[in-house]
Copies of this chain bind each other. A is one copy, B any other.
Amino acid sequence: MNTNISEIEETNTSTLNGVDVQALKETIAYLGDNPEKAQFKFRARNRWIDGNRNETSIDEFFALGENQERAKTHVVKVDQPALILGQDTAPNPVELLLAALSSCITSTVVLHGGADGVEIDELSSEIEGSMNLEGYMGIDPNVRSGYNEIVLKLKARSSADGDRLMELVSKSPVLDVLRNGTRVKIDIDTGEEEAD
């Protein structure tokens, strides 16, 4: 079956904030009528290069009941700054986490704002995550390895007030995951045969 949301919607192009609002509303209606199609799986592959450098490739996802190819393979590289023993060729993984959160909040405000008629002139943010490296470096076992706090300052010039914007922000999937946590299963293949 080759139906996809973008084919369903080519009837009207009433865009707001660069979002095809008509298509978005039809997407919501379609998934509401076909809840079994609403199970999405996003996927990526990571490969170590050397030292602190590795890269993640994204070329497909699962949506509407079938695998969906991306137009091209998107590659996300990481490295560390010199001070953390890297070559500073790319952001590091915990900076990528800040990029995921701030970009998700921006996208969510634009998309859901568009669906609700909110006009956006400008949207930008500054984000800062604090961590105590005594955790990651194993110096103090009582200190967590991850961020103990993230602060995001959103600057919005739009037709919505602060309360309405906060409602839109709160729909962000990455914000949900970071605030509430999620189940992460890890499976390791060492190449050794399993004992029977």
Contact = CB atoms under 8 A, between A and B. Distances in A.
Contact of A93 (B46, B107, B156): B107
Number of copies of this kind of chain in the complex: 2
Central interface residue in A70, A81, A120, A155, by most chain B CB within 10 Å: A81
B76 A71 contact: no
Contacts of A148: 182-183
Contact of A139 (B28, B51, B88, B146): B28
Chain A interface category by residue count: 35 or more
- Main SS at interface, chain A: mixed
Given A40-B132, A44-B98, A46-B126, 20 more contacts: A6-B82, A19-B85, A31-B139, A43-B98, A45-B125, A46-B99, A52-B110, A55-B103, A58-B98, A70-B88, A71-B88, A74-B91, A76-B91, A146-B175, A151-B187, A154-B189, A166-B188, A169-B186, A175-B184, A179-B182
Contact of A129 (B5, B42, B83, B110): B42
A6 B85 CA distance: 7
A104 B110 contact: no
29 contacts: A31-B133, A31-B134, A32-B134, A39-B130, A40-B132, A42-B128, A44-B99, A45-B124, A47-B124, A48-B106, A56-B103, A76-B91, A76-B96, A93-B174, A94-B174, A131-B173, A135-B173, A138-B171, A144-B180, A145-B171, A147-B173, A147-B177, A151-B185, A152-B186, A153-B187, A155-B191, A156-B188, A161-B190, A178-B184
A137 B38 contact: yes
Interface in A21-49: 23-24, 27-28, 31-32, 35, 38-48
A110 B51 contact: yes
